[in-house]
Amino acid sequence: MLNPLFWVQAITLAFSQIWANKSRAFLTALGIIVGVASTTAVIAALTGLKAKVLTEFESVGASKFFVFPDRPENAPRNMYPWEKILLKPAEAKAIRDECTLVKAITPITEVGLDVESEGKRIEGITVSGIWSDWHVVQNRFVQDGRPFSQIDDESERQVCLINEDAIRELDLPANATGEAILIGGRRFMIAGVVETTQARFFGMNTSSAEVFIPFSVAVKMQDRNFFMRIEGLFTSPDVAEDAEEEVRFVLRRMRGLSPGDPQTFQVAAIDKFIAQFKTLAAGITAIAGGIVGISLLVGGIGIMNIMLVSVSERTREIGLRKAVGATPMAILLQFLLEAVTLCLVGGFIGIAFGRLAALGLTLIPGAQLEQADVPFWAVALSFVFSAMTGIVFGMFPAIKAARLDPIEALRHE
């Protein structure tokens, strides 16, 4: 019905109309620009945060769980003293032996000790006591020598694993396996060298020198009431709920808690954190979406206002176009196209500003938003929303223009 020439001129006219009223068009589109820009920036920040958090979670492992002592909420301090709620080695053993949904488990206890090689002595290195499952749980194996075995722990062997930083700091030969070092005054044989690849968890960096000894040996070198935590893997992330319940059941029994008693420990699975975080991120994204909706509404009213002004300013032009054969539909489409163009230009500028803001976010040191980025769907959605705003709010002025009586329009002053 409408020939290609119509579309070419309608689009050209839409742009030239904006160009002819640059400042007015800019002020009108400001609502849309600000709305789209701020939402784009928020989505970029969220995308960055999500990417960051999820990669960190994933590096830890989705089926991973932690057990740590925890004083019940609102409970008097004297009723639950630390020494009473601390985890015990026997509890770790019980979980290992009884929980069918636990694939691997290790207690971890840390003690600061002086470490000494033939040529060098370093004070206060963190020495961790672990089971052989630690390799599986933390996904860290040896690059040299042998890993820990269950026998090391059961026989309380005086063996240790160290990392490359420790080798360097202690001036040990590059192939340190088989060398002997003094840990807390006791003689240990280096059984192997652990991979340096570190699992970083929220910047908690266990870099520099690391020394590991069998858990049973570490217990002997600790105070009487020492702190230990338990880390483990469920057989799969899908059974996390049941597995958590299993662990809780065993621990409650070990601690002699009757059904009504409050829990004196926490079992935390990573997958739950992930799920919670995803819900949170989705919630924030929805709020950002709501903000864009409101700003587009405000922007849209501005668009409607300016289009009404445009229609009344150009009444004679509309009359003339009708006099030379423009159908109501042609007039309607022309004004609608103008409103949509205005909104799309606004949306485009908004996205540009949003991207700029996203770039700024990645450069903030310490903000952990290096991966902030505007995803394609956000760009597409911004354009769709902008266009829809143009259509919805441009419709009324466009209909008004289309309905004008040609002769009355031509008589308009």
Partner 1 sequence: MVDAHADWPLIQVIGLTKIYRVGVETIHALRGLDLSIGRNEMVAIMGSSGSGKSTLMNMLGCLDRPTGGSYLMNGRDVSKMDANELAQVRNEEIGFVFQSFELLPRQTALENVELPLIYARGGWRGRKQRALAALDRVGLLDRVEHRPNQLSGGQRQRVAIARAILNKPSILLADEPTGNLDSATTTEILALFRQLHLEGQTVIIVTHENEVAAHCQRVVRLRDGRVLSDLSIEQDIAGRHLPTTAASSSGAAPPC
- Positions in the binding site for partner 1 (CB under 8 A): 1, 3-6, 9, 16, 20, 316-317, 319-330, 405-407, 410
**Please, which residue, 19 or 376, has the CB nearer to partner 1?**
19
Q: Which two tokens stand for residue 355?
A: 């991207």
Strand partners, 233: 64, 104
C-alpha–C-alpha distance, residues 144 and 83, integer Å: 39
Cα atoms in the 13 Å half-sphere on the side-chain side of 51: 15
Ordered DSSP codes for 234-255: ES-GGGHHHHHHHHHHHHHHHT
Residue closer to partner 1 (CB basis): 98 or 317: 317
**Residue 287 or 407 having the CB closest to partner 1:** 407
- Cα separation of 246 and 144, whole Å? 37
Nearer to partner 1, 6 or 277 (CB): 6
First to last CA, the chain: 32
Map tokens 């049941």 to a residue.
242
Which lies closer to partner 1 via its Cβ, residue 295 or residue 334?
334
Least distance between partner 1 and beta carbon 16 (Å): 7
Q: Closest approach of Cβ 316 to partner 1, in Å? A: 7
Query: Closer CB to partner 1, residue 92 or residue 326?
Result: 326
Give the residue ranges of DSSP H helices in 71-112.
82-85, 89-98
Tell the smallest beta-carbon distance from residue 391 to partner 1 (Å).
22
Q: How far is the CB of 326 from partner 1 (least distance, A)?
A: 5
Q: Shortest approach of partner 1 to residue 393 CB, angstroms?
A: 25
Q: Least distance in Å: CB of 383 to partner 1?
A: 27
How far is it, in rounded angstroms, from Cα 314 to Cα 20? 14
Task: Provide the residue type at 154 as one letter.
Answer: E
Rama region for 183: left / alpha / beta (φ>0; ψ in -120 to 50; rest): beta
- Strand, coil or helix: 189: strand
Of 50, 57, 45, nearest to 363 by C-alpha is 45
Q: How far is the CB of 335 from partner 1 (least distance, A)?
A: 15
CB of 333 to partner 1, least distance (A): 11
d(CA 380, CA 383): 5
Decide whether 1 or 204 has the Cβ nearer to partner 1: 1
* Integer Cα distance of 114 and 110 in angstroms: 13
Toward partner 1, which CB reaches closer, 275 or 329?
Answer: 329
